[in-house]
């Protein structure tokens, strides 16, 4: 009986030891639990010994080998069953530990993803925990390695970002401040040179601005001098010449000699009458009809109204200034051949049926080499035509001066915009002025036996 009890105790101890050893492989804390279980399993077997002893002592005669063999088998089965239960419990504990570890790892990964997605500010590890969810806080408290894993994930994500680097040169304050090209453009468009002065900073800008401004002033002065002053002086000059040397009375005397041919010889007669005679009154309208129709009874009244041979030049000028269209009057007497008879030097003129021709030595109309009739001219008429041509030349010069002013404004505006553009580039030290790229090179060359100095200029880009 003592042998069976000893076997049971050894079996239980072996069972506990194997269970503890199996559990220790997965969890060190399970070893202590296994030893406690083995101790508790062994404790009920201790009091069984006295009972068995008592039974053996009371009835020793009934004990036999068969019973002993059966007891050993039962003990062995009980020991094997205990070992199997211990192994099953150890496997279950190992499975639970593996499941718990897998759950913890999954929870750590979820917490790391959430922490990486959250805009967590840079802070100390203790202060950073308040931005994590509850599950992440639990994992951070249980295992400090989760926080390190989260930091590694963030670092990996940061390293994946593409950063573009741009180099910007600093502004050179010594080169001035920013200048607007548009503002410089409009300033020089309004006043040439003003945009260059706005850009300023270099002697080149100020010099070009001064040149544009002075050019505009010179063109404006030239326009006023030639187009206004000289032209007006020339107009007064040819008018005075006509007032002294062309008389309406002399012209009308030729008309009165043969009024029936006045219409054929004087195609601009009606235009002339509208120019010299006012029609706003009854008398004026009557005089106009007499002028337009030399064969009418009103012609003599018109002719007597303009007997200006005895007038002084001032009186003639005053009377002609009161004409309805004095400008047209002075143009007609110089431009049209039919008014040649009004010049004081109009002699030796042949009166044709439709025009006035120059008279030849034989008293007949003069002809050129091609046998064509030559229209009559006089020295006074030719001089008057030249004086009017000079006045017209002064008037045409207006186009040159005004055109030059327009071109000067445009060129100055474009130059000012470019000056502002290059000035702004120079602020960032990306480009220099054009004159900084100009280089001069001088050398002495020999032309035969004489040295010749040479100067070479070139620009670099």
**Among the ranges given (192-196, 322-326, 440-444), the one the predictor scored with the smallest mean pLDDT:** 440-444
User: In the predicted model, is pLDDT for residue 3 greater than 60?
Assistant: no
What span, in angstroms and rounded, lies between the C-alpha atoms of 305 and 284? 11
Over residues 227-239, the mean pLDDT reads: 94
Residue pair 139/104 in contact by the 8 Å Cβ criterion: yes
Number of domain units in the chain: 2
Same domain, 150 and 264: no
The residue from 143, 159, 175 where one domain ends is: 159
Say which residue, 369 or 440, is predicted with more confidence.
369
Say whether both 20 and 155 belong to one domain.
yes
Task: Answer yes or no: is 36 within a domain.
Answer: yes
Same domain, 14 and 131: yes
121 in the same domain as 258: no
**393: in domain:** no
Helix, strand or coil, per DSSP, at residue 168: coil
Of 114, 135, 159, the position where a domain reaches its end is 159
Mean pLDDT, all residues of the chain: 75
Number of H helices and number of E strands within the chain? 19, 4
Residues in the chain: 461
Residues 130 and 251 in one domain: no
143/23 same-domain check = yes
Do 10 and 124 share a domain, yes or no?
Answer: yes
Among 76, 12, 84, 18, smallest CA distance to 45 is for 12
The rounded distance, in Å, linking the Cα atoms of 159 and 75 is 67
CB 257 within 8 A of CB 269: no
**Does residue 128 fall inside a structural domain?**
yes
48-62, 173-187, 208-222, 367-381: segment of lowest average pLDDT: 48-62
User: For residue 386, is it within any domain?
Assistant: no
Q: Are residues 145 and 265 in the same domain?
A: no
From 159, 163, 133, select the one nearest 146 (Cα to Cα).
133
- In a domain, residue 296? The reply is yes
On whether the CB atoms of residues 139 and 112 are closer than 8 A, the answer is: no
| Whether residues 270 and 367 fall in one domain | yes
Name the residue range of residue 317's domain: 247-342+344-377
Q: What are 246's strand-pairing partners?
A: 343
**Cα 345 to Cα 380: distance, rounded to the nearest angstrom:** 7
Q: Considering only 136-150, 314-328, 375-389, 404-418, which range has the smallest mean pLDDT?
A: 136-150
Percent of the chain exceeding pLDDT 70 equals 57
Structural contact between residues 179 and 198, judged by C-beta atoms closer than 8 angstroms: yes
Domain end, chosen from 159, 184, 213, is at 159
Residue 412 belongs to some domain of the structure: no
Distance (Å, whole) CA 358 – CA 268: 20
């Amino acid at each position: 009986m003592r042998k069976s009890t000893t076997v049971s105790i050894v079996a239980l101890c072996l069972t506990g030891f194997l269970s503890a050893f199996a559990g220790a492989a997965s969890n060190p804390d399970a070893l202590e639990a296994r030893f406690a279980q083995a101790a508790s399993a062994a404790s009920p077997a201790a009091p069984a010994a006295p009972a068995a002893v008592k039974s053996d002592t009371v009835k020793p005669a009934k004990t036999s080998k068969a019973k002993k063999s059966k007891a050993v088998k039962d003990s062995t089965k009980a020991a094997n069953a205990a070992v199997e239960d211990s192994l099953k419990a150890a496997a279950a504990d190992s499975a639970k530990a593996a499941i718990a570890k897998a759950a913890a790892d999954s929870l750590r990964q979820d917490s790391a993803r959430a922490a990486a997605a959250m805009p967590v500010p840079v802070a100390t590890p203790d202060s950073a925990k308040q931005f994590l969810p509850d599950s992440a806080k639990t994992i951070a408290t249980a295992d400090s390695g989760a926080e390190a894993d989260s930091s590694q994930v963030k670092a990996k994500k940061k390293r994946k970002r593409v950063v573009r680097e741009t180099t910007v040169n600093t502004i050179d304050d010594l080169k001035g401040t920013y200048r607007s090209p548009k503002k410089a453009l409009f300033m020089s468009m309004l006043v040439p040179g003003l945009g260059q002065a706005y850009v300023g900073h270099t002697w080149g800008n100020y010099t070009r601005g001064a040149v544009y401004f002075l050019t505009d002033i010179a063109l404006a002065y030239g326009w006023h001098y030639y187009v206004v002053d000289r032209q007006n002086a020339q107009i007064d000059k040819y008018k005075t010449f006509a007032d002294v040397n062309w008389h309406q009375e002399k012209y009308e005397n030729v008309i009165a000699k043969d009024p029936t041919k006045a219409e054929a010889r004087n195609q601009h007669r009606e235009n002339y009458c509208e120019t010299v005679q006012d029609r706003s009154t009854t008398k004026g309208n009557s005089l106009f009809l007499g002028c337009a129709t030399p064969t009418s009874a009103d012609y003599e009244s018109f002719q007597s109204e303009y007997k200006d041979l005895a007038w002084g030049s001032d009186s003639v000028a005053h009377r002609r200034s009161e004409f309805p269209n004095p400008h047209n009057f002075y143009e007609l007497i110089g431009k049209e051949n039919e008014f040649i008879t009004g010049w004081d030097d109009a002699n030796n003129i042949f009166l044709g049926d439709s025009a006035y021709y120059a008279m030849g030595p034989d008293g007949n109309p003069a002809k050129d080499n091609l046998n064509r009739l030559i229209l009559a001219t006089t020295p006074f008429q030719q001089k008057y035509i030249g004086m009017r041509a000079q006045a017209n030349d002064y008037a045409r010069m207006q186009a040159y001066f005004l055109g030059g002013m327009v071109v000067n404004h445009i060129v100055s505006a474009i130059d000012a915009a470019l000056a502002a553009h290059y000035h702004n580039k120079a602020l960032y030290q990306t480009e220099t002025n054009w004159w900084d790229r100009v280089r001069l090179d001088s050398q002495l060359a020999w032309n035969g036996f004489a040295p010749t100095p040479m100067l070479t200029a070139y620009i670099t880009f």
